[in-house]
A and B are shown apart, each in its own frame.
Chain A
Amino acid sequence: MGKQIFAIFNDEDVLMKSIKPLRGTGVNIKNVFSPFPIHGLDTELGLARTRISICAFLYGLTGLSLAVLMTWYMMISDWPMDIGGKPNFSYYKNIPAFVPVLFESTVLCAAHGMVITFYLRSKLLPGVTAFVPDVRMTDDRFVMQVELEDAATEEQITAVLIQHGAEEVKEYGK
């Protein structure tokens, strides 16, 4: 891995506009850190679309299936009862009464599964040390991480970054 430098921008629009021309001049943009979500930044950087909602769908299906299995086993198979003259002897006749539980279990599994996936995939866990090139990046500055293939090009790339609107260019934590 080459040397990492960080260009600080004070306006998200300037940063967005600079990405294409910077890449055109051969600057290797590794990442962008921002205090708030910038719409269109992911496509501008060429990030793949997140598949987390597909995960949520699958977790939801899992939750639904488990709930079907649970209600079927407990109410129909293991101990069928005749409550108020409405016997629990077949699943399809009893399913209307189970809909609330099926729905809640679907949401429960989909929501928690998705959030847990999000935390693990993004390495968000209590005790993780944050990668903070500049403390203002959660306040009002936008940080572009650039990798240098050759440390000798640092001065030249710094100049290009400044020319495209970066306020300053610095190394990690300095």
Chain B
Amino acid sequence: MYEASIREPLILGDKTVHDITEDICRPIEGKANKYWWWCFSVSVAALIWWVLCVSITVGQGIGVWGLNNVVDWGWDITNFVWWVGIGHAGTLISAVLLLFRQKWRLSINRAAEAMTIFAVICAASFLLTHTGRPWLDYTLFPLPNQFGSLWVNFNSPLIWDTFAVSTYFSVSLVFWYTGLIPDFAVVRDRAKTKGMKFWYGLLSFGWVGSAKNWQRFEEVSLVLAGMSTPLVLSVHTIVSMDFATSIVPGWHTTIFPPYFVAGAIFSGFAMVQTLLIITRKVLSLENYITTYHIDMMNRIIMITGSIVGIAYITEFFMSWYSGVEYESYCFVNRATGYYWWAYWSMMTCNVISPQLFWFKKLRTNFTFTFILSIVVNIGMWFERFVIIVTSLHRAYLPSEWSTYHPTWVEVGIFIGSIGLFFTCFLLFARFFPVIAMSELKTIVKSSSSQAKREFKEEAHH
């Protein structure tokens, strides 16, 4: 399995197959360190806050939010779109990079896909609570209405969204779990205590890694990747159609689907960076998640960030060029109106900041990447806020122009959802193999530091 030695090694520190098992299983088998407990306590505190704020919302109705008759989507849908967009990077890494046979995906795909699942859980929580009466949420599905036989409206993008998000979540979940099974078997076979033997035995579904198992496993992974690729693109396309199929100025644009998908990948990769830069330090995975991985992801952030930037400019241009005065007003109002600061935060964070990644020094710097990854996600949050709130607060009738401010309950649910996300991720990092060992082991002979050295030596002889 020769690989050109000018390609950078993907596993550093001369790791053998056995070392990989040891390094990835160590965090599961050992005790959690104090950083983990510290992060976990903060996350759980935020999660409790989330439970409180959601309970207030469900108990009293969405009157406790700052929404009004004009701005009837606010932080709730902003947060939904933000979270579901973040989720996209995980599928991109595990599915699209699999189809392109990018080996650098192997040490980040597991964590990225876990991120997808938790992000979609957060997103779904906003979908389910923004209805105001979550006990009636079953009406989102095509069930006969109990007052007659009225069905859901399949012409509505909101129904498409129900299908897209539920398919995306459940397919991502089985894709992730199927990949986890061989790794659970590794932990099972190493387990010293009775409890570990039992739990990981249960989770590993009796996996043995026979030739037939692996043959099917690879086929299943490939076909799932092939289906997840259009699926992930369809999800944010449909999310964008929640807006684009309406006639609200600023929403009614055909550029939305590709622009939303690019934005989703952009913010998702930023979140992967935020998570992995911390994870590699806390779990000592520096030899597996290397500067090269960070560099590759930064390139994707730079490219998708540029696509997003071009989309903003195109939108602005078209609002003037179309000659529709409502559109023109909407965009000028975005940049100079009541919410100008949100617009310019978005422009700075999403258009200007990723351009800094043209410099290799910055692209390979961990501290800089970490800070920028957070900046990008702040920018992407503002993007959704700008699209939703500025379009609604100045719609067609000047008599109903309004402003919108969130209440502490909405802010609380948002901060709480970050707590929910990190609680899930920290539990994952504690009990699940954070790197797909069984897949990473396949490249030890081609892409590890020792393999590269051997190839070089051979070339000299």
Residues in chain A within 8 A of chain B (CB atoms): 13, 31-38, 41-42, 45, 47, 50, 52-53, 56, 70-71, 74-75, 78-79, 81, 83, 86, 88, 94, 97-98, 100-101, 103-105, 107-108, 110-112, 114-115, 118-119, 121-132, 135-140
Q: A94-B155, A128-B205, A137-B189 are in contact. List 12 more A-B contacts (CB 8 A).
A: A33-B208, A34-B209, A35-B209, A37-B217, A47-B212, A105-B167, A115-B220, A123-B206, A124-B205, A132-B189, A137-B208, A138-B190
How far is the CB of A134 from the nearest CB of chain B, in Å? 9
Per the CB 8 Å criterion, the residue count for chain B at the interface is: 66
State whether B167 touches A32 (Cβ < 8 A). no
Of the residues A35, A107, A125, A126, contact of B17 by C-beta under 8 Å: A35
State whether B206 touches A130 (Cβ < 8 A). yes
Tell me the residues in window 232-269 of chain B with beta carbons closer than 8 Å to chain A beta carbons. 234, 238, 241
- In the assembly, what is the distance between CA of A50 and CA of B219, in Å? 8
State whether B206 touches A139 (Cβ < 8 A). no
User: Which residues of chain B are within 8 angstroms of A126 by Cβ–Cβ distance?
Assistant: 202-203, 205
Interface of A is mostly: helix
User: Which residues of chain B are within 8 angstroms of A104 by Cβ–Cβ distance?
Assistant: 160, 163-164, 167, 231, 234
User: Which residues of chain B are within 8 angstroms of A56 by Cβ–Cβ distance?
Assistant: 223, 227
Given contacts A52-B219, A104-B163, A108-B170, contact A140 B208 (CB under 8 A): no
State whether B214 touches A124 (Cβ < 8 A). no
The segment out of B72-80, B177-185, B294-302, B368-376 that lies at the interface is B177-185
The segment out of B144-152, B279-287, B317-325, B335-343 that lies at the interface is B144-152
Tell me the residues in window 179-201 of chain B with beta carbons closer than 8 Å to chain A beta carbons. 181-182, 185-186, 188-190, 201
State whether A35 touches B438 (Cβ < 8 A). yes
Residues in chain B within 8 A of chain A (CB atoms): 16-18, 21, 142, 149-155, 157, 159-160, 163-164, 166-167, 170-171, 174-175, 178, 181-182, 185-186, 188-190, 201-220, 222-224, 227-228, 230-231, 234, 238, 241, 438-439, 441-442, 445
- In the assembly, what is the distance between CA of A149 and CA of B301, in Å? 60
How far is the CB of A95 from the nearest CB of chain B, in Å? 10
- In the assembly, what is the distance between CA of A45 and CA of B189, in Å? 25
User: Which residues of chain B are within 8 angstroms of A31 by Cβ–Cβ distance?
Assistant: 210-212
Given contacts A70-B142, A83-B153, A112-B174, contact A53 B213 (CB under 8 A): no
Of the residues A105, A119, A140, contact of B21 by C-beta under 8 Å: A140
Given contacts A42-B215, A94-B155, A100-B160, contact A107 B171 (CB under 8 A): yes
How far is the CB of A56 from the nearest CB of chain B, in Å? 5
Of the residues B175, B189, B219, B445, contact of A139 by C-beta under 8 Å: B189
Most B-side CB within 10 Å, residue of A88, A101, A105: A101
State whether A118 touches B149 (Cβ < 8 A). no
State whether A98 touches B154 (Cβ < 8 A). yes
* Closest A-B pairs by Cβ, 10 of them: A128-B206, A140-B17, A74-B151, A100-B160, A124-B205, A104-B163, A37-B214, A36-B441, A140-B18, A135-B189
- In the assembly, what is the distance between CA of A115 and CA of B383, in Å? 37
How far is the CB of A86 from the nearest CB of chain B, in Å? 7
User: Which residues of chain B are within 8 angstroms of A35 by Cβ–Cβ distance?
Assistant: 17, 21, 182, 186, 209, 438, 441
State whether B159 touches A83 (Cβ < 8 A). no
User: Which residues of chain A are within 8 angstroms of B175 by Cβ–Cβ distance?
Assistant: 111
Complex: chain A residue closest to B157, CB-CB:
A100
Of the residues B209, B230, B234, contact of A138 by C-beta under 8 Å: B209
Complex: chain A residue closest to B177, CB-CB:
A115
- In the assembly, what is the distance between CA of A52 and CA of B216, in Å? 7
User: Which residues of chain B are within 8 angstroms of A75 by Cβ–Cβ distance?
Assistant: 151, 153-155
Residue contacts A-B, CB under 8 angstroms, 17 given: A33-B210, A35-B438, A36-B214, A36-B439, A42-B211, A52-B223, A53-B219, A78-B151, A98-B154, A103-B230, A103-B234, A108-B167, A111-B171, A124-B207, A128-B206, A131-B208, A139-B17
Given contacts A104-B234, A139-B21, A140-B16, contact A37 B218 (CB under 8 A): yes
User: Which residues of chain A are within 8 angstroms of B442 by Cβ–Cβ distance?
Assistant: 36-37
How far is the CB of B310 from the nearest CB of chain A, in Å? 26
Given contacts A78-B151, A138-B185, A139-B189, contact A132 B208 (CB under 8 A): yes
Given contacts A32-B211, A35-B441, A104-B234, contact A97 B154 (CB under 8 A): yes
